[in-house]
């Protein structure tokens, strides 16, 4: 960081840099263990500077979780040029790859929903909501009727998929394609249980 002092980063860039260091720290430590003191030591800056940018440990956690969430969402952005089921499979494949390539980040995001900070929980819930919206778009294209029950079912599936990813992608050496195939089958089954007409549309 010594060269950064000479470069005179703007406040926005300095905060983004510190946030990125916080995200990187999730590789080998859980979110709860990410403290102002630890990040200050890693960045070679004073604790006061961290408090200036983030206000508190909770503020640091909110910034780090939001940056981690945005990185995951960018990495798993659906390929809209693909047919719906191909798009679902491609997205699930990239999610599994992201989870295995960013183990600490994903784990902190999933467990962030249990954080004592409501703003951290809200950041995680926003990610879940967007994942559910992406699923809903797939099944609506396949002919499923938009309904409150479909939205509830697929939103619940997202939480289920997180646990599957923790137990399979993080805790076993199960092949990626096996995890993806299971997630695809489970998602289509959930959507089909809400809208049996899906079986007539060829996606069950």
From 57, 68, 60, select the one nearest 27 (Cα to Cα): 68
Q: What would the pLDDT profile of 82-99 be if each residue is shown by its tens digit? A: 999 999 999 999 999 999
Q: What would the pLDDT profile of 140-160 be if each residue is shown by its tens digit? A: 999 888 899 999 999 999 999
* 3-class DSSP assignment, residue 30: coil
| CA-angle at 170, arms to 20 and 166, nearest 5° | 90
Q: What would the pLDDT profile of 7-29 be if each residue is shown by its tens digit? A: 677 888 999 999 999 999 988 88
Q: Can you say whether residue 202 is alpha, beta or left, with left for phi > 0 and alpha for psi between -120 and 50 degrees?
A: left
Q: How many CB atoms lie within 10 A of CB 71?
A: 16
pTM comes to: 0.84
Q: What would the pLDDT profile of 27-78 be if each residue is shown by its tens digit? A: 888 888 889 999 999 999 999 999 999 999 989 999 998 998 999 999 999 9
Q: Which domains does the chain have, with CATH numbers?
A: 7-62 (1.10.10), 64-194 (1.10.357.10)
From 63, 80, 55, 51, select the one nearest 26 (Cα to Cα): 63
* Token pair 């979780």: residue: 65
């Amino acid at each position: 960081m010594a060269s950064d002092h000479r470069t005179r980063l703007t406040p926005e860039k300095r905060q983004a840099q510190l946030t990125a260091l916080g995200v990187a720290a999730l590789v080998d430590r859980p979110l709860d263990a990410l403290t102002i003191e630890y990040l200050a030591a890693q960045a070679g800056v004073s604790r006061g500077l961290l408090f200036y940018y983030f206000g508190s440990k909770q503020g640091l956690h909110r910034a780090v979780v939001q940056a981690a969430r945005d990185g995951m969402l960018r990495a798993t952005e659906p390929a809209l040029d693909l047919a719906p089921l191909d798009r679902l499979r491609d997205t699930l494949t990239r999610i599994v790859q992201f989870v295995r390539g960013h183990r600490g980040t994903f784990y902190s995001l999933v467990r962030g929903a249990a954080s004592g900070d409501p703003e951290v929980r809200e950041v995680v819930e926003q990610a879940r909501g967007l994942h559910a919206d992406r699923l809903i778009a797939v099944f609506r294209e396949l002919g499923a009727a938009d309904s409150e029950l479909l939205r509830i079912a697929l939103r619940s599936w997202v939480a289920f998929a997180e646990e599957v990813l923790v137990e399979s992608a993080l805790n076993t050496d199960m092949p990626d394609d096996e995890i993806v195939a299971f997630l695809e089958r489970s998602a289509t089954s959930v959507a089909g249980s809400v809208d049996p007409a899906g079986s007539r549309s060829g996606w069950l």
